[in-house]
Structures are given as structure tokens and as C-alpha cells.
Structure 1
């Protein structure tokens, strides 16, 4: 499967999709298959109207609607399946509506604050949204629309609860093929050409010296899940690395290939194509050129969500988690329930459960100039309700 990866989108969807179209036109001449999937590593900026701009942490001059509202309104449609994680410049009201994941627009799927899906039933993609800040790491998701300055500063910060849920993927299901994040795993710069990185980004010097570049939570996930690939954005620079895992357990140590990319713009390395071999039993018929992969829920992730749902922290003081020795039993019980009640042994297409529906009214203008509403509101997203109903858990998001 040919997969396009972008770093920070910063609302530049038209630029990204046009670039992929140009690449496909070149590969068509050589007989190669087109790009089938796009992974967007944060700062996606899914702003539906001007009010959403007031739920995004950014200097005023960068609060621009850009392209997304046209895809949300149906004036344009994403030409290929697009999977998104959140960053630190997001319409956080919109993202919170889809905390468990959901369609931001037709063909554009948000993995949620943490999530794991199966593309075409075999490619396992997991992701973590937000950026790390120690002061907010152990708090709950207490921020609500309309945000005040302090909550707008903290709402996009990653929480321990979400990363701990992702940690449980190590015990459940197959290996993660691709992990997506906005923030880099801490210390990953030491596993690539650090000198070249510093020449391009000298401002990183102090962070590298103090080992504070990136997220310690993502560092633990990298070492625990050992995904085949890890893709990130955030730093606005292209950087590659290879993290070799523990040599003691296997004669040939596993490794994770890390790729970080920049944001759309002239002479910026913001988009890259990776090829992941498709298993024989999942290969499309010959001469199939244009197709849309199918997104499935990962039954093991659904079990983790169900098991951890009673402990979802919604106040500043996070809800205590169960003792570590109880977690395997809780997840095993949840997995049995998922396999019995969800799809084919727990495998179900996302589109069979979550159907995109507009909640906030999109801006009326193609260019976005007519909408002057600056009063953000919170909305209840039917996709979140459908997801919770599927798992027989209460909708605590609203």
C-alpha cells in the first residue's frame, strides 16, 4: 500500500491533496499504483467556521480558516482516505466532540485523543494526539468550551490516561504497523543525524542537551509497542531515525523507523510516500487503480476503551486508575463482550457505526470571509453517541 505522510497540515488541505495528485500522475506513467491513504500528523486545524478559531491556541495572525471548512460543508471532498491525529494548533471544540474518534468530514477520520484502527482489516495504525507538558500530564480532561485563556493553554496537552490506554496495545492484538503522533518521542533525535538536525534547527540545542525534546510518554510508547514505523510533525523539520529495540530478546533486534516532516510551503519537506507491503490475501485485483480502503475498528482497542471508560478523567483531579494487576482481567472481560456484540468477532467497519454529520454550522462562504460569529459553542456529536452505544458505555463526552 502506498501511503502519503504529512507533518503539520496547518489547514493547507488543498495544497496537500494537489501535491498527491501530481505524484499520482507521475507514477501512473510507470504503472505504479496511486497513493491510497494519507496520514496527517497533527495541527490539522479542522475549523468549521470563525467561531472555531476561538477554540484554537494560536497568535491572531495565524487564526485563519484556510481549507477545511469547504470539506466539512461538502463543497469539496477528500480524494483519498485521510487519518488524522491532533496537535497543539487545533479547533479543540471540534476535536473534543470526537474524543473517541470520528469523521471530521467525509473521508477524513480523526483517531481521537488516542486510538487504533485497522485499514482494510490488516494495517494496524495507532495514534496519540496533543503535546506534552508536565504540569497537565496527570490531570483530567477538565477544559470545556468556551475556553478561557488558561484552559486554551492546557486543552491540547496530552494526558497520562490516554497514553496508558495505548500502552495496553502491547498485550492485545498484532504489532502496530504505523504509530502517528504530533509530538516526537523524547530522545529520538539521538538515533538519527543529530548534528544535521542541529545545523537546520539550532534552537533545539538546549532541549537536546537537557533531554527534553519530545514527549516522555511517547518515548515509553515507542519502547513498549515497538511499532514498525513512527510518523510525527510539530517541529517543522524533516528528520529520520532508526530506533533499535532490546537486543537481548531476539538475535536480530527489532527496530522502528521514525519519520518527522515539516508543514506545507515552498521548499519545505512536508510530504513523503512510504510503501507498506500488502499481504497476499489482502491485495486488490490486478488492474485496480483507484479505490478507497475501508477503515475498521480494532477489536482490541475497543476492549481497552470499554475497560478504561469508568476511569475517564473529566475533572482537574484525575480519576484513580485500577491496580495494574486488575487491568488484564478488565480488558479480557471487555474483549469477550466486544467479540460477542460488535460486528464479526469484534471487527466492524467504522462507516457502519459512525456516519458523518455536521454539528456546528459551516461558514457560508467558499472563501470563509462572510462568517463573523466569534462565539464558540459545544455540540453533541452523534458519532460519539453511536460509538458509545456500540460498546454499551455511557457517553461522557456530551
Structure 2
């Protein structure tokens, strides 16, 4: 396993219950509770292993985690086709375990949020540029985002730095005709960093700071604030990059000093590293801002520190669900014109251009925030509207490359906020490799099944009457409940509700049109099913099936 430790953010706490009792004169406006957040480094698709590790911590520590934050390389691979969109050598491509959460085989035991790294199923994540659910209880933060949980503000930036693509738009989507698109898809863009910089507080007294900032690669220069000698003992090949200030993202170090988050969490370099970054005082007499605690974690391997527990004090009535951050939504709306789906170079506004009358400070005004509040009717809870766009994993389907899909989560979010839909813009570039979302076929199949069921019942009613002694049951059943007696669908009418014969106990509560199905018969019995039907008063019974027809064996 690994050595577990808990970091406590004492400065973020509200008045504790014990302090209230000691000082009865203080107005009891707030009562706090403990919030436990788990942080994972590079997940590498090993969600089963991570959740099992957290369950062991919960068992030994006596508390439950409320949220899990993954710092990238999550690898949300839905099927074989998604592996073609991941920057990993073919010999290392593996489905891992996320597909089980996507198809509904298992459900995440802890609410999970994650950012993208440099080893992701990029085709899938490009459907959700503004974030969204990739499976029930698993939320992707998008290219950049801010969400709220239990009153905490959590910001995220996906990808790693590359100077060649930093000032371009998000133009990549399947099909990736060359491998360059698979690689550049996970590179950080200046527009996302610019938007995050609009979160900077107006002064040091601003109590609405970001509580947790998450990135995949490290801010360049962060090693100056920690034990670099200890780091070089574990990773001596970092030395040259550290000397050149090239270990990490140069753009996010300025972001760190701008937004001054209480915690900055990262991964990517597969080692644990901690640092404490102090911030300058904003003028004479100003209170010194709280320092930022930086922590990077490893990947899930034995005897590696890949998980950390954080503990916060939050209000007792804090909502334990994910919500949009209204300030972030106002930033997205104000900077909507910067959304681009091309390769052209675009530079963000700067203070140098203010002399020309160009707006460069996009920190939202109160009026801009009020516009967003009106659009969302003050309800910022993120809807649980996950839908499968690609077909789930099927071992018999070796898909060479997955298609690209319109994701309804993105379209609904952008329509509500009134901003450009990058997912739609990418789809509009070309019809090539566009697929019909899987959830539409699921809905279509459900309608067809319902229609087919109605036709089957109608045929049964025409073909069989009360004079028949036997009914041929050709459809294999899979009900887990074994019933000694089961009822013919035609004869379950309202007149039989009042008079119940043996075996009717299991049927109580069924409507007249409901069908009670038997359990599957043993596989070795292949002869046609003949079930006797006899009428005793108004109670109708059928004997258990005695076999299965050969042509229905594999249904």
C-alpha cells in the first residue's frame, strides 16, 4: 500500500462547534463539519486500484471520502477504438478499467473529478471542451474549468505545455490523419490560461480565492520552493531542465501568483514533491495572503505515494454536489469571442493594448455575474445528464478507431449560457468520421422493443383461445426469480385479480398486461417447451418449462 497522510487547511475553516460553546456571546451563524478529499496522481486507467486503496484508507482511518480529484492521465477509454486516440505506444495500449464505469457494469463509489493529461482518450474528451460527465459520478473538467463542491472552489487546467501549439485554437478531433493531432490535442492553449487568470482576486482581502487548483504538469520554477536536492536524488535527469527553467509549464507559474490558490495539485512527473509558495503583499498595510501549498503525486504502483488525503472545514449545510461557478461562467461568456477551432495563431489581450481602448481585464463585473445568475435562475447544480455517445466495450468488436460525436452535454450547456459550442464547431469542419451517438440507438431500440412487444401480445390473443390445452413458449427467459407457476399473458385479465390460486402470491401487484417470466431452464434440455394450461375457476396456471428449443439456445 502506501503511507497515508492528511493535510489540514485550518485557515479555511469556519467557527468550530467547540469554539461556539466556549464563547456563547458569539452568534452561532455557522457550524462546521469535516470534508475529506482524496487526491490521486496519474491514474493511468487504474480506477479499480485507486478506489480499492481509498476503501482501505477509509477502513483504517475511520472517515469516508467525499470527493476524489485525479490530476490527469485518467484514460477514459470506452472501447478499443478509443485506444487509437491515445498517445501511447501500441504495446502499452490497454483498456484498463474505465470501460466498466462507462457501460454501467460498476459505479464509482466516490464522486470523482479529473483533468486531462498527456495520455488520454483525446477523441472522447474533445466532445466535452467545457467539461461533463464521462460516466455516472465521474466528471471531466474540460480544457479549463471551475466548479464548486461543498462551498469549495476547484479549478482545473488540462494538458501539458508545448510552445508550438500554445497560441492556437482547439482544432483537433477524430479522425486523426497524422499522429500530430493526437499529440497536440492535449497541449495547453493560451486562451484557457487567460481565462483562468481572470480569477485573480482584486485585493488580498478577497475571501473568494480558489481553494484547489489542479494541473497535470508542474508550474515551471516550482522546484525553487521545495526540497530540490531530495527531488534530484529520485530524479537526477531533471537537473538540466531545472537549470533552464524548463521543467513544467512557464505559463502556469504566473497563473499561480495571479490567482493564489490555497492548494495546487499536479502529477505528470511520477514522483511526490511538495512546496510552499509565499505571495507578495498588495501595498502598505495590506494583510499578507495565505501561501499556496503545492503537491505533486506519483502513479498507482506499489510503495509509491500516489494518493493524498486533504481535510477541510466546511459549513454544516454545504451542498455535497458539483455546481458551476457563476464567476467562471461569466468569464466564459465575456471571452466567448476567443473560442477558436482553427490552427491560426491568436494572441490574448494584454495591458499593453489598453491604450487602444481594447479590454484586457476580463474579471467579471457584478452586472456580468448577475446576467449569468438570471440565465441559470440561481440554480448552478451541474445536471446529471450523462449519455453514452460511443458504443460501450464489446470484446467481439475490434474497432480500429472510434468516431467523433456531438455530445448533448456540451450543446445543452452552451445553449443555456449562450456561448459558442466548440464541439459543434469541430463537427461542422467535416462530415468525416462523424458518428450517430449511441444513446440515440438505445432510445430507438427501446421504442422498437416496446412496439414489438405490443405486436407479440396481439398475435397471442388472436392465435390462442381458452380452448387450447398447450402454449408453445419459444423465447428463452432470463428472470432471476424462479416461479413454479407462471401465467399466460393472454389470460391475465382484471377478472382474475380477486380469485387467486396457488402460486399467485408472487404475482400480486402486476397489472393485467404484465407478463410473469420463468427462470431459464437447464442448458442440457433442448427439446421444445410445452406447458400445460388449465382453467380452475378464474385462476390460471402453467407448469414450469421442461426444456428449451434449439434455435433459441443463444438468445
Between stretches 243-252 and 224-233, larger displacement belongs to 243-252
- Residue 124 (1) aligns with residue 160 (2): no
TM-score normalized with structure 2 length: 0.65
Q: Is the Cα contact below 8 Å between 1:246 and 1:254 reproduced in 2?
A: no
Distance 1:259 1:382, change over 3 A: same
1:38 to 2:68 alignment: yes
Partner of 2:310: helix, strand, or coil? strand
5 Å-filtered alignment, 1:146-185, equals 146-147=175-176, 148-171=178-201, 174-185=208-219
Distance (whole Å) between structure 2 residues aligned to residue 328 and residue 171 of structure 1: 12
Which among 297, 301, 315 is matched to residue 261 of structure 1?
Answer: 297
Please state if 1:348 is matched with 2:374: no
Residue 207 of structure 1: which of 232, 238, 241 is its match? 241
Structure 2 Cα separation of the partners of residues 180 and 125 of structure 1: 8
Q: Check conservation: 1:312, 1:319, Cα contact below 8 A.
A: no
**What's 1:23 paired with?**
57
Mapped partners of 1:201, 1:41: distance in 2: 20
Report SS of the residue matched to 2:271.
coil
CA distance in 2, matches of 1:237, 1:63: 22
Post-superposition CA distance 1:98-139 (Å, at most 9, x none): 10010011000111100000103x110001000001111111
Structure 2: 5+ residue stretches without partners = 1-34, 425-555
1:3 correspondence with 2:30 = no
Q: Partner of 1:287 in structure 2? A: none
Q: Which has the higher contact order (CA 8 A, sep 6+)?
A: 1
Correspondence 1:5-84 to 2 at 5 A: 5-28=39-62, 33-84=63-114
Please give the residue correspondences for 1:220-259 in structure 2 after superposition, counting only pairs within 5 Å: 220-247=254-281, 249=283, 250-259=286-295
Mark the CA change 1:248 to 1:299 in structure 2 (over 3 Å): closer, same or farther.
closer
Q: TM-score, normalised by structure 1?
A: 0.90
Aligned to 2:419: 393
Measure how far apart 1:331 and its partner are.
3.9
Q: Which residue of 1 aligns with 2:335?
A: 308
C-alpha RMSD of matched pairs (Å):
1.8
1:312, 1:335 → 2: CA distance? 20
Aligned residue for 1:379?
A: 405
Contact 2:72 2:114 (8 Å CA) reproduced:
yes
Is 1:279–2:311 an aligned residue pair?
Answer: no
Q: Which has the larger radius of gyration?
A: 2
The correspondence for 2:138, drawn from 105, 108, 120, is 108
Q: Is the 8 A contact 2:146 2:153 kept in 1?
A: yes
Task: Please say if residues 279 and 288 of structure 2, whose CA atoms lie closer than 8 Å, have aligned partners that are also in contact.
Answer: no
Task: For residue 225 of structure 1, report the CA deviation from its aligned partner.
Answer: 0.4
Q: In 2, are the aligned partners of 1:165 and 1:305 still within 8 Å (CA)?
A: yes
Q: Do the aligned partners of 2:198 and 2:363 also contact (CA within 8 Å) in 1? A: no
* C-alpha distance 329-251 of structure 1, shift in aligned 2 (>3 A): closer
Q: Which moved more, 1:94-103 or 1:171-180?
A: 171-180
Q: Relative to structure 2, which stretch is displaced further, 323-332 or 200-209?
A: 323-332
**Quick check: 1:311–1:320 contact (8 Å CA) kept in 2?**
no
**Structure 1, residues 238-279: CA drift from partner, whole Å, max 9, x if none?**
111101111464454521001100011111110111111213
Choose which of 276, 281, 295 in structure 1 pairs with 2:322.
Answer: 295
Following superposition, the deviation at residue 321 of structure 1 comes to 4.5
- How many Å separate the matches in 1 of 2:419 and 2:148? 22
SS in 1 for 2:148: strand
Deviations 1:160-183 (A, max 9, x none): 011100100115881000001101
* Conservation of the 8 A alpha-carbon contact between 2:85 and 2:401: no
Q: Deviations over 1:47-71 (max 9, x none)?
A: 1011101111111122111000000
Name the CA distance, whole Å, in 2 between partners of 1:208 and 1:330: 33
Tell me, in whole angstroms, the C-alpha distance in 2 between the residues paired with 1:84 and 1:45.
10
2:156, 2:210 → 1: CA distance?
10
How far, CA to CA, are the matches of 1:45 and 1:361 in structure 2?
17
Partner of 1:135: 164
Cα 1:336–1:392 shift into 2, 3 Å: same
Please state whether the residue corresponding to 1:359 is helix, strand or coil. coil
Cα shift at 1:311: 1.7
Displacement of 1:318 in angstroms is 3.8
